[in-house]
Homo-oligomer: A and B are copies of this chain.
Amino acid sequence: MEYGVAPLERLVEQLETLPGIGHKSAQRLAFYLLRQPEEKADKFVDAIREAREKIHECSVCCNLTDRELCPVCNAPARDPSVICVVEDPRDVAAFERTREYAGLYHVLHGTISPMDGIGPEQIRIRELLVRLTDERVREVIMATNPTVEGEATAMYIARLLQPFPLKVTRLAYGIPVGGDLEYADEVTLRRSLEGRNEL
């Protein structure tokens, strides 16, 4: 009952459920949305509705798309012999920004996390296995996050893939480019030593 205006309280409440939005920010956003001209507010709401209606998972790689196939799976120039397995669609965008990777992706939409009740069936592992019947696939790069869950998921999938005649690789660990050694944690430093290359 901060403002005593029920629709306003409900709007603030809804905005507060957004990740990274606290009470003060939610209030600011609510007043901003109320102040906008009709056309602008409609555009905003329509963008949410349209995105939710049209966007679904790519029938091959499970990345988000509004077509049958996502732009990567649909591009004839991509190399079908490599599949990079990531947790999240944002990771695909991150790899695409490198302009380095020409293979395909597979988006798991999460990691195995028994603590949160997420088992292997809740993420897109089955869909990955189906793709491996395509004999053009030669390598699967496990590109899950270097977190406990990401590692465990990478290990789990790597074991599952043992029967397949393909290479399973993992992203290199090491010091981040532009980072400061002083602030690197010991595990990262140890990994960067272990993985050292000749110059």
**CB interface residues, A 121-179, toward B, < 8 Å:** none
Question: Whose C-beta in chain B lies nearest to the C-beta of A10?
Answer: B47
Do the beta carbons of A2 and B93 come within 8 Å of each other? Answer: yes
Segment of A20-28, A78-86, A111-119, A183-191 in the binding face: A20-28
Determine the distance from Cα of A64 to Cα of B7 in the docked complex, in whole angstroms.
11
- Tell me whether A7 and B90 are in contact in the complex, defined as CB-CB below 8 angstroms, given that A19-B32, A34-B64, A45-B49 are known contacts: no
> Which B residues are CB-close (under 8 A) to A40?
17
Determine the distance from Cα of A34 to Cα of B65 in the docked complex, in whole angstroms.
12
Determine the distance from Cα of A65 to Cα of B54 in the docked complex, in whole angstroms.
35
- Partner pick for A51 among B7, B20, B54, B93, CB 8 A cutoff: B7
A199 within 8 A of B: no
Do the beta carbons of B7 and A18 come within 8 Å of each other? Answer: no
Do the beta carbons of B31 and A90 come within 8 Å of each other? Answer: yes
Determine the distance from Cα of A16 to Cα of B2 in the docked complex, in whole angstroms.
27
- Tell me whether A18 and B32 are in contact in the complex, defined as CB-CB below 8 angstroms, given that A13-B47, A55-B8 are known contacts: yes
Stoichiometry, copies per complex:
2
A196 within 8 A of B: no
Do the beta carbons of B47 and A3 come within 8 Å of each other? Answer: no
- Sample 18 A-B pairs with CB under 8 A, ordered by A number: A2-B93, A3-B93, A4-B72, A7-B47, A8-B55, A10-B50, A11-B47, A11-B51, A14-B43, A19-B32, A31-B88, A31-B90, A34-B52, A34-B64, A38-B52, A41-B48, A44-B48, A45-B45
- The interface of chain A, by Cβ under 8 A from chain B, is 2-8, 10-11, 13-15, 17-20, 25, 27-34, 38, 40-41, 43-45, 47-55, 64-66, 70-72, 88-90, 92-93, 96
